[in-house]
Amino acid sequence: MKMIEAIIKPFKLDEVKDALVEIGVQGLTVTEVKGFGRQKGNREIYRGSEYTTEFVPKVKIQLFVTDPLVPRVIEAITRSAKTGSVGDGKIFVWDLNTAVRIRTGETGESAL
Amino acid sequence: MTMTPDSGSPDGLLHGAEINPVSVLAEHRQALRQRLLEGASGGEVMAALTMFVDELIIGRYKNAMRRAGEEAQIEGAQYCCLVAVGGYGHRELAPQSDIDIMFLYSEGSGEVAQALFREVLRHLWDLGFQVGYSMRTLQDCIEMAATDLTIRTSLMSARLLTGSPYLFQEFYRRYFREVVGRGTTHFIEQKVEERRREYEKFGATIYLLEPNVKKSKGGLRDFHLFRWAGMARFQAATLQDLADHGLISGQDFLSLTEARDFLWRVRAFLHFEAGRAQEILSFDEQVRLASLYGFQDRPDLLGVEQFMQQYYQHTMGLHETLVRFLDRCLAPPVKRKSTRQLPADKVDGYFVVTGRNLTVPSELRPRVLSSPDLLLRLFEMAGSRRLKIDNELLDEIHSHMDSVSDEAFRTPEVSRVFMKILAGPGEVAGTLEVMHRAHLLEKVIPVFARVRGLMQFNHVHKYTVDQHTLLAVAKAEALAQEPGIIGEVCKEIRRKDLLHLALLLHDMGKGRKEDHSEVGKVIAEETAARLGCDEQETRTLVFLVHQHLLMSQTAFQRDPYDKKVLLRFVRAVATPETLRKLLVLTAADISAVGPGVLSKWKESLLIELFLRALPEVSGEQDETASPDRLKQLAGEVAGECTDAAAGGLDWIESQLGQFPLRYLQGTPPKRIAAHLRAVGRLQAGEVLIEENFNEELGICEYTVITHDNLTPGIFSKIAGVMTAKGLQILDAQIITRNDGVVVDTFKVSDPDYAGVPPVERRDSVAATIVLVLKGEEDVERLMSRNTRLPSGRRLPTARQAAEVQIDNETCDRSTIIDVFADDTLGLLYAITRSILQLDLSVHAARISLRDELDQVADVIYVTDQHGAKIKDHARLEAIRATIKKDIDQFIDQQVARSEAVSAGSLT
């Protein structure tokens, strides 16, 4: 079992979601986040005054999948989130120890 | 069937014979539920349940006392009594309400009666009732009620169940004399404050989509507060008493009773359905109740929306009546006459200001009520001076409005004053809200009547349409006070009235089956006509209402770094002022959806789009690129220079440094390379043309490279050549570098050719530009010689007068001229020629087509011949008038010409 987290451009969310649903992903957690990577934050200048927005608005998606699905998830996110310009985001993959479905108490892959 | 166990039976026998009290209660509830379904009122159901519980308690208590012996009976009858308090005291037990009960005893009583009371309590608990109880002496009651607000309130509805009537009377007499009669104002204030905190907790507005029927604003608690205040201030125990004594009007009495009965009934249904004291009217329950109440879906409005509209009408009415009544309860006992004795405070001949209150003396009221103009002025004055209009007067206006037609409000003065209210300064949203409450807003904007309490049956919105709309205006006002870019932009908006009007109208298309933006567009057009807006105002208003979702959709769902996305957005928005209005409208709209919906995250996406679009709409990307960016770009451009003709990387970099960012960002490296090659071989007095066909967009780009001292009016002359050649100018970029090198790019479509125009054609255009700029050909002569058959866009049949606006605030260095006119071949030439004749020089221009309007919006940045912004007002007005006259003349000529052509009499 793996946890996959990806930071993507906000307007790509729908495309990424559709791509993931298509390959059989069952659930997804979405968070509106701000941060910076190599893209750095913008310095916004308006009327000569500077408004620092050190952080760029992004969307973070988080999902939990079985091992065999991982390469396809990565492929789907990469394909659907890509614009080719700076700030397209990143994907992270973690090992997942355990998962429990609260309603039934099922554990492991059947809880995913 | 009563539940009272038979008297005196020994416990052992009784258990076998007794009917299970729990199931009796359940059956009773079931029977009540059936009655409710068959149409019984909430009040009937509550009275029946109260009677049932009364009998239960009294029977149990008496029975227990009998079993305890004669001594206990005497003690119970003389020294103690059972008292119903709270809602139970009022006989208002909803199916799952708590039962509040007090054991009142005097010093002489012993322990026995108390023990019996506890037995009754146990029984109630066993039956599953929630019971609140207290055991107090008379003295306790007086002392505790004096300090504890809750006790004081709950005792107001004390009702004797059983026991000593003398003790109860004594309690009642002392309680009213020593508690209720004292500190009345303070008590009411405390209750109001308590209720205010409750509003905050349960939704600050009546128009919650899932309201709490008891505690939300306009809920039953408002009715309770009404009754408490009336009881404290006027010793009136019921609404009927208040009405009988003329303390509330007959109309208020009726609407209050209706609202109360409506809420009671809804609550009874909620309790029965949930099997507990459920007070939240959830979406699921709304759907269920709507069908129970017989509401049918209509094409324009779901049944559930009709039901909720009724719900909001009742809660709104209840709340408004409460507010007015509380005002009266708390008003210092000043007779209205005294205000009339201060003639100095009379304003405008009709209005009287006392402190922060605004009213109209009663002898003048008929005049004011019958004059829409005066009524508008009343609200305008309240708004601009931040005064509060007397509630009684508002009442009168409200009841008067029902008999007045909208048409009476279609006067120029009403429109003028209404726009003034919308413009501020002063309370804009606050005033509109009061106007809405008085049913006057819908006389000025009739469509508002339709959205009163109109719910939006989805999980995103928290408020009804009218509430959302008014809140959006309030948010727009509040945004101006906030630090940051949106706040700054807010302050710069010039026509706040148009922004506020657009906000008022943006969702008026809701509740019909067509797309609400499209319906809104029609409504905006109608409203603009009604209010007598001129063309320019109408255009802005219609655009903002029709496209109110454009900015959020673009910012949240599209890539603002995609040039095509940005360009489409920019073309639609067209001017900096419209962009600013759209940003604030969008932010206010989102913010008025519900608390916290406009997150900083969303704000930053909107700001990102705004900042990217602003230079585009204003043609003002004059800042230079950062050194890093220049280096990177120089590399990319060098990669496009396959021949060795261009100088090295350093030369490219230094050349790029002389161009403004708008050029560097908007031009592909390949084109830049071509332009630089031309710059590199440009000799004094020469004109070079770089042309290119963009397959994707199907347009030709002509870039003219020369020196600015070659001839005056370079830009205008090029535009003239384009017109003479029958080319449609889509976009024009003017760049004059500090070293005098001019790089002007025209994007044009060539209606004479489908697809790529042949080389000869493109060469001929280029050659003509060179001839004209070198002075070897006169542009005017060229134009008359080349009068063409009308091609490409036909001239609109119903033509509108051109609109010219001067914007001296957007840009620090230049004066901006906005031109809106029918899209006519040669328009840009006409404009720039006019500008040239006015001794102005053009620094940037942007042309936006507004497809649906068949119009163009040209934005042109000009300075005087010394490169300075024009500041003289008279000169600015002269410029505006001249350009407008020239354009109108030009278009008239074109029309005449095209008519001549169609008539076949071309000379």
Among residues B373, B355, B375, the alpha carbon closest in space to that of B365 is found at B375
Residue B557: C-alpha distances to residues A11, B560, B606 (Å): 4, 9, 11
Please check the confidence at residue B8 and state whether its pLDDT lies above 70.
Answer: no
**HSE-up (13 A, CA, CB side) for residue B577:** 22
Give the per-residue pLDDT at B457. 61
Cα gap B878→B368, rounded to integer Å: 43
B502 and B484 in contact (C-beta within 8 Å)? no
Considering the domain B445-618, what is its CATH architecture? Answer: Orthogonal Bundle (1.10)
The pLDDT value given to residue B769: 93
Under 8 Å between Cβ of B676 and B633 = no
3-state SS string for B759-798: HHHHHHHHHHHHHHHCCCCCHHHHHHHCCCCCCCCCCCCC
For B327-354, write each residue's pLDDT tens digit. 888 876 544 444 444 444 677 788 888 8
Q: pLDDT band for position B240 (50/70/90)?
A: confident
Average pLDDT over residues B734-741: 82
d(CA B730, CA B849) in angstroms, rounded, equals 8
Please classify residue A71 by burial: count the beta carbons closer than 10 Å to its beta carbon, then call 0-12 exposed, 13-18 middle and 19+ buried: exposed
Q: Which residue intervals of chain B bear CATH 1.10.3210?
A: 445-618
**In the block, residue with structure tokens 């006790």:** B151
pLDDT computed for residue B632 by the predictor:
78
Query: Which is more confident, B861 or B538?
Result: B538
What would the pLDDT profile of B47-89 be if each residue is shown by its tens digit? 999 999 999 899 888 888 888 888 778 877 888 899 999 999 9
Q: Which residues of B touch A33 (CB under 8 A)?
A: 601
Q: Is A43 on the interface with B (CB under 8 A)?
A: no
Least confident segment among B836-845, B879-888, B891-900: B891-900
Q: Across the interface, which of A51, A57, A83 has its CB nearest the CB of B605?
A: A57
By the CB < 8 Å criterion, does A50 face chain B?
no
d(CA A27, CA B532): 54
- Which positions 68-127 of B are in contact with A (Cβ < 8 Å)? none
Mind listing the pLDDT tens digit for each residue in B102-124? 999 887 777 777 888 888 888 88
Contact with chain B for residue A83, Cβ under 8 A = yes
CATH tag for B185-332 (out of 3.20.20.70, 2.120.10.30, 1.20.120.330, 3.30.43.10): 1.20.120.330
Total beta-carbon pairs less than 8 A apart between chain A and chain B? 39
Hey, what are B770's tokens? Answer: 């060179």
Subunit contact B611:A46, Cβ cutoff 8 A:
yes
Residue limits of CATH 1.20.120.330 in chain B: 185-332
Over the stretch A6-51, which tens digit does the pLDDT of each residue have?
999 999 999 999 999 999 898 999 999 988 876 665 555 665 555 6
State how far the Cα of B339 lies from the Cα of B353, in Å rounded to an integer: 8
Tell me which residue of B127, B143, B132, B111 sits closest to B55, measured CA to CA: B127
Q: Is B484 on the interface with A (CB under 8 A)?
A: yes
Contact yes or no for B699/B747 (Cβ under 8 A): yes
**d(C-alpha B891, C-alpha B795), whole Å:** 9
pLDDT at residue B184 greater than cutoff 90: no
The 3-state DSSP class for residue B693 equals: strand
Q: How far is A10 from chain B (nearest CA, A)?
A: 7
* Rounded Cα gap, residues B859 and B831, in angstroms: 11
Tell me how far apart the alpha carbons of residues B204 and B443 are, in angstroms, rounded to a whole number: 27
Q: For the segment B129-176, what is each residue's pLDDT rounded down to a tens digit?
A: 889 899 998 888 988 988 888 899 999 899 999 888 889 999 988 988
The segment(s) of chain B belonging to CATH 1.10.357.170 are 11-182
Contact predicate B440/B379, CB 8 Å: yes
Per residue in B612-628, pLDDT (tens digit) is: 888 878 765 555 566 77
What CATH fold (topology level) applies to the domain B11-182? Tetracycline Repressor; domain 2 (1.10.357)
Q: Name the residue among B213, B376, B193, B384 with its Cα closest to residue B285.
A: B213
Given an 8 Å threshold on Cβ–Cβ distance, is B604 in contact with A49? no
- Tens of pLDDT, residue by residue over B830-849, are 888 898 889 888 877 766 65
Domains of chain A from N-terminus onward: 2-111 (3.30.70.120)
Cα of first residue to Cα of last residue in chain B, in angstroms, is 107
Q: Is the complex ipTM more than 0.95?
A: no
Residue B159, pLDDT score? 92
- pLDDT of B267 > 90? The answer is yes
- Collapsing DSSP to helix, strand or coil, B101 comes out as strand
For residue B602, the chain A residues in CB contact (below 8 A) are 32, 57
**Closest approach of A13 to chain B, Cα-based (Å):** 8
Mean pLDDT of chain B: 83
